Amino acid sequence: MMKRDEQIRAELVDWATAEPLIRSIRETVFIHEQGVPVELEWDGLDSSCAHVLARNGHREAIGTARMQQNGTIGRMAVHKDWRGRGAGRALLHVLLDLALRQGLPRVTLSAQTHAVGFYERAGFHIVGELFMDAGIPHRKMVREMLRHDAGEEKRGQASS
């Protein structure tokens, strides 16, 4: 049960400083829970990505995600006890805000199929076919970022 007094906050963090916390979360979620091979999880891209960390009201690290310079969001992981309580939404919000500030026209991600609805509620839509990654079914998803000078608001509402 979710306690109403729990506050989850997400913020951008420096990889070099936050690496032990990020590694711990991703190893727990991806490697131990989901069986992702270690060599697939640690792809060598982390040092060039923007990272975000979610913390609970006690400042404990409970979730993480990253975004590559090209706007690809990935490695979103939240500890099991904190799923469904707003940590993923907080992580995604920080990365989408960063994408807007950087002027990225769109962001992409590969969603595990069970998480497609979560991303759709955040404005993403499915592109392409179902594919397997580390033995887990995924869908590629895209979100066009609103740009004031392009008048994209109405086009972004069209469904495929």
DSSP letter at 35 equals: -
Number of other CB atoms surrounding residue 134 within 10 Å: 14
How far is residue 56's CA from residue 59's CA, in Å, rounded to a whole number? 5
CATH class as words, domain 9-157: alpha beta
pLDDT (tens, 9 = 90+) of the chain, 160 residues, equals: 444 446 999 999 999 999 999 999 999 999 999 999 999 999 999 999 999 999 999 999 999 999 999 999 999 999 999 999 999 999 999 999 999 999 999 999 999 999 999 999 999 999 989 999 999 999 999 999 976 434 433 334 333 3
Closest CA to 10 of 85, 63, 58, 46: 63
φ/ψ of 104, rounded to 5, equals -70, 135
- Tell me if the pTM is above 0.95: no
Q: Enumerate the domain spans of the chain.
A: 9-157
How far is residue 132's CA from residue 148's CA, in Å, rounded to a whole number? 36
Taken as a whole, the chain contains a residue count of 160
